[in-house]
A = this chain, B = another copy of it.
Amino acid sequence: MNAKTTEEGRRQKIVDAADELFYARGIGQVGMDAVRDAAGVSLRALYNEFPAKDELIIAVLGKRHRMWTEGVTAKVDAIREPRAKLLAVYDYLAEWFDESDFRGCGFINAFGELGAANPRVAETVRDHKADFQRYVDSLVQAAGGPASLGPQLAILAEGAQTTAAIAGTTDAARHARAAAEALIAAAGI
């Protein structure tokens, strides 16, 4: 393995460790020392990879965005019928909520904590949510649903995430799915 892959591997190890810590404790509660320990690198190497904590935060959100997108699209792509694809989103949520370390949407958490103080975080979160909204809109369109259905389904997904995080139950995905079914049926598709 050459120097390039070593560096790439290290970068990813840092992002993975930071993501786990940020998500579990909140970004402000995690010092760079804790990231260093968890990633098993030196502080020097950490700062070589990410010149400031802000850069690391953005990189972590980027990783979360990719994992979310991959997870949702995989679940949706496994379904054939366009109408049923819409519901697959909530099935993905249900699986996610069931994970023992689930603590809500990392983007919503980051926005609540840093959105007001850190414009880059705010923008990254906005981009992530806008991307998801576009994705849902495209699924609605493919299913022949009205444009008004997209925002409604996305709101259900957002609400399920915060409700599941705070209440600590996995029910929210089931309720959101049932509501989505009703909305889809009401839209006549």
Residues of A within 8 A of B (CB): 24-26, 28-29, 103-104, 107-117, 125-126, 129-130, 133, 148, 151-152, 154-163, 165-168, 171-172, 175-176, 178-179, 182-183, 185-187
A116 to B20 Cα, complex, angstroms: 13
User: Among the listed B107, B129, B152, B182, which residue makes an inter-chain contact with A186, where contact means beta carbons less than 8 Å apart?
Assistant: B182
User: Which residue of chain B is the closest to A177 with respect to CB atoms?
Assistant: B152
Partner of A148, one of B162, B172, B175: B175
8 Å CB contact of A159 from B26, B111, B114, B159: B159
Number of copies: 2
Cross-chain contact B116 with A113 (CB below 8 angstroms): no
Interface of A: prevailing SS: helix
CB atoms of B163 and A155 under 8 A apart? yes
Q: Given known contacts A108-B112, A112-B104, A159-B158, is B168 in contact with A126 (CB within 8 Å)?
A: yes
- Specify which chain B residues have a CB less than 8 angstroms from the CB of A125 in the assembled complex: 166
